[in-house]
């Protein structure tokens, strides 16, 4: 018989009378895990209940400073945009995300331990598979935020994170971070062990758990970041098949719905949509900061200035055709949002009008998996360029109103004609007039054929459009060593350079106080002085203005 509780496995000191007293007592909040059904039940808690989307979008080139006349709501939004260490601990902060991920990992470990104690027979393989995938997933999410991007040449010297594989039985366990290489090896080990065990029959609502397609989509993304191109394709094929047309998002259908933000957001997260592979709920303000709400407009996500020059209203492979993403936008010129995520509110006291902001996020989709496969094909060289173009055409089929069939030459020439977004060899601020930015591959060299880089530029442009409001652009910036520049009202712009340590968010302060090694922070910046902190404002109603054509 095993027990489970929600607790942070890494943190500051815990005040207890004695270790023995702590271990001898069974708190009422714990659940006895003594049946397969109870193992299944606790796995609901093996998924993080917070997200890092706001942090990642604010740190990326999808955000810009709209100026003093606009306000922010939370200081962590400003700190993320300024690439400063985040000091707050509320929802959507590094501290909350760290705690939530490690709580999910602790639950997965307790489930695995219970399965072992119950005999570990094959009948519990689906639960074991889900627990292993959940453990790998949370460690992967933590790595994306708190570690540098994987580079095979430096992974043995870059900091990783503690990889927890057993339930805690001591009050103050000691942890070391290990290397990034070790962290990725452990994630891969859990994925390879868990994938064959996943079953779609364990739950009636499988979209909120690691079903088979979700598990393979996660593996495809992981291997993309791990630079194992053949494995990306093999895993993506399990999700997409040879012709993914029927499982990609039906943007044409969404565009035919009423031009209502809530209606279209609800259509986007519909569990019956084949494009949605893994849906999650979270305590998060991300729909408010990144959606069509008058919240956090100072450091705004995707203002018109960026939208028309760098993303889904910029020049792209779709040419003069209509991109559905650009036609399903809401907001105003300070903040333009695709109809993806609606802001929900959970009242704890309706009289006092207090409670929690909630979100429902589609973490894994067939559309993003398709672009993972396209990138992997492009990375395998000239013999697979046509395969990458074929996947680009699949994406265009469901994302562009008019019928299109582009060739490799079309792709190469479109992005070859673009100038890099820089001046005098240095990156310039957001909205500089082009989605093309210089790539600095980590641990490999692009072919000197004038084709591979422009093919990758196209795929990264599609990924930027596809994953807007999901935080994945920050990962692409890290993976490809893209240098970006943030404008800062009243001060010189700040450039995030290739080897800038701020590409990894700092681990929480209480974890550092408990003895875990912090991320390095030696950095040269162009900023002098501090920006004034803007007044707080709250407005929980979405904009009614629409950018639909």
pLDDT tens, 307-357? 989 998 899 999 999 899 888 889 888 888 899 999 999 888 888 888 899
Q: Which of 103-112, 319-328, 426-435 is predicted least confidently?
A: 426-435
Q: Check: CB of residue 135 under 8 Å from CB of residue 109.
A: yes
Across the beta sheet with 354-365, the strand order is 276-283, 354-365, 344-349
In 268-353, beta strands by DSSP E: 276-283, 299-301, 329-332, 335-338, 344-349
Please give the pLDDT value at position 9.
43
Write out the two tokens for 426. Answer: 């240095």
Write out the two tokens for 469. Answer: 């409001």
Please give the pLDDT value at position 21.
39
Distance between CA 167 and CA 171 in Å, rounded?
Answer: 12
Distance between CA 9 and CA 172 in Å, rounded?
Answer: 9
Q: Check: CB of residue 196 under 8 Å from CB of residue 129.
A: yes
Q: Which of 416, 410, 461 is CA-nearest to residue 435?
A: 461
Top pLDDT among 321 and 168 is at 321
Distance between CA 408 and CA 356 in Å, rounded?
Answer: 48
The CA dihedral of 223, 227, 230, 233, to the nearest 10 degrees, is: 50
**What count of residues does the chain have?**
549
Distance between CA 304 and CA 333 in Å, rounded?
Answer: 5
Q: Is 485 helix (H, G, I), strand (E, B) or coil?
A: strand
Top pLDDT among 299 and 32 is at 299
Match 């990156």 to its residue by tokens: 427
Please give the pLDDT value at position 80.
98
| pLDDT for residue 3 is more than 80 | no
For residue 179, what is the DSSP state?
B
Q: Is 340 helix (H, G, I), strand (E, B) or coil?
A: coil
Please give the pLDDT value at position 67.
93
Write out the two tokens for 514. Answer: 């408990």
The share of the chain scoring above pLDDT 90, in percent, equals 74
The number of CA neighbours under 13 Å toward the Cβ of 482 is 26
Match 């945009």 to its residue by tokens: 81
Largest CA distance in the chain: 71
Task: Please state the pTM of the whole predicted model.
Answer: 0.90
For residue 412, what is the DSSP state?
H
- Other Cβ atoms less than 10 A from the Cβ of 438: the count is 17
Write out the two tokens for 229. Answer: 């191109």
In 227-351, beta strands by DSSP E: 276-283, 299-301, 329-332, 335-338, 344-349
């Amino acid at each position: 018989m095993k027990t489970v509780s929600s607790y942070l496995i890494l943190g500051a000191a815990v005040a207890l009378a004695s270790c023995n007293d702590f271990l001898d007592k069974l708190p009422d909040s714990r659940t006895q895990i003594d049946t397969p059904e109870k193992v299944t039940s606790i796995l609901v808690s093996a998924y993080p209940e917070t997200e890092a989307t706001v942090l990642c979008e604010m740190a990326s080139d999808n955000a810009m400073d709209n100026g003093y006349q606009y306000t922010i709501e939370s200081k962590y939004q400003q700190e993320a945009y300024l690439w400063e260490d985040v000091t707050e601990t509320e929802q959507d902060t590094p501290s909350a995300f760290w705690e939530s991920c490690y709580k999910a990992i602790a639950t997965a470990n307790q489930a695995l331990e219970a399965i072992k104690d119950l005999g570990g027979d094959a009948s519990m393989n689906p639960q074991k598979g889900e627990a292993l995938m959940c453990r790998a997933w949370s460690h992967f999410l933590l790595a994306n935020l708190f570690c540098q991007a994987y580079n095979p040449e430096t992974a043995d010297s870059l900091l990783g994170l503690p990889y927890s594989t057993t339930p805690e039985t001591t009050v103050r366990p000691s942890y070391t971070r290990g290397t990034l290489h070790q962290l990725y090896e452990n994630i891969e080990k859990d994925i390879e062990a868990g994938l064959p065990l996943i079953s779609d029959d364990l739950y009636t609502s499988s979209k909120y758990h690691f079903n088979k397609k979700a598990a393979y989509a996660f593996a495809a993304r992981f291997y993309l970041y791990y630079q194992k191109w053949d494995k990306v394709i093999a895993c993506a094929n399990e999700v997409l098949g040879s012709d993914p047309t029927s499982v990609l998002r039906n943007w044409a259908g969404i565009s035919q719905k009423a031009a209502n933000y809530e209606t279209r957001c609800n259509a986007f997260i519909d569990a019956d949509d084949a494009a949605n592979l893994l849906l999650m709920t979270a305590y998060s303000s991300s729909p408010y900061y990144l959606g069509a709400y008058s919240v956090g407009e100072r450091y705004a996500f995707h203002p018109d200035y960026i939208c028309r020059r760098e993303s889904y209203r910029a020049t792209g492979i779709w040419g003069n055709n209509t991109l559905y993403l650009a036609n399903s936008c809401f907001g105003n010129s300070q903040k333009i949002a695709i109809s993806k995520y609606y802001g929900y509110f959970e009242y704890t006291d309706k009289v006092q009008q207090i409670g929690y902001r909630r979100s429902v996020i589609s973490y894994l989709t067939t559309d993003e998996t398709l672009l993972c496969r396209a990138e992997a094909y492009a990375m395998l060289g000239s013999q697979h360029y046509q395969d990458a173009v074929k996947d680009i055409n699949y994406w265009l089929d469901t994302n562009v109103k008019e019928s299109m069939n582009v060739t490799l030459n079309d792709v190469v020439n479109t992005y070859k004609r673009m100038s890099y977004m820089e001046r005098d060899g240095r990156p310039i601020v957001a909205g500089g007039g082009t989605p093309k930015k210089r790539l600095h591959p980590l641990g490999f060299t692009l072919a000197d054929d004038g084709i591979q880089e422009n093919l990758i530029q196209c795929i990264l442009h599609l990924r930027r459009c596809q994953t807007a409001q999901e935080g994945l652009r920050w990962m692409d910036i890290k993976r490809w060593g893209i240098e970006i520049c943030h404008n800062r009202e009243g001060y010189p712009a700040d450039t995030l350079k290739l080897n800038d340590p701020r590409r990894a968010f700092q681990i929480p302060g209480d974890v550092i106080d408990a003895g875990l090694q912090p991320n390095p922070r030696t950095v040269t910046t162009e900023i002098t002085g501090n920006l004034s902190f803007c007044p707080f404002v709250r407005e929980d109603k979405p904009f009614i203005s629409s950018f639909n054509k």
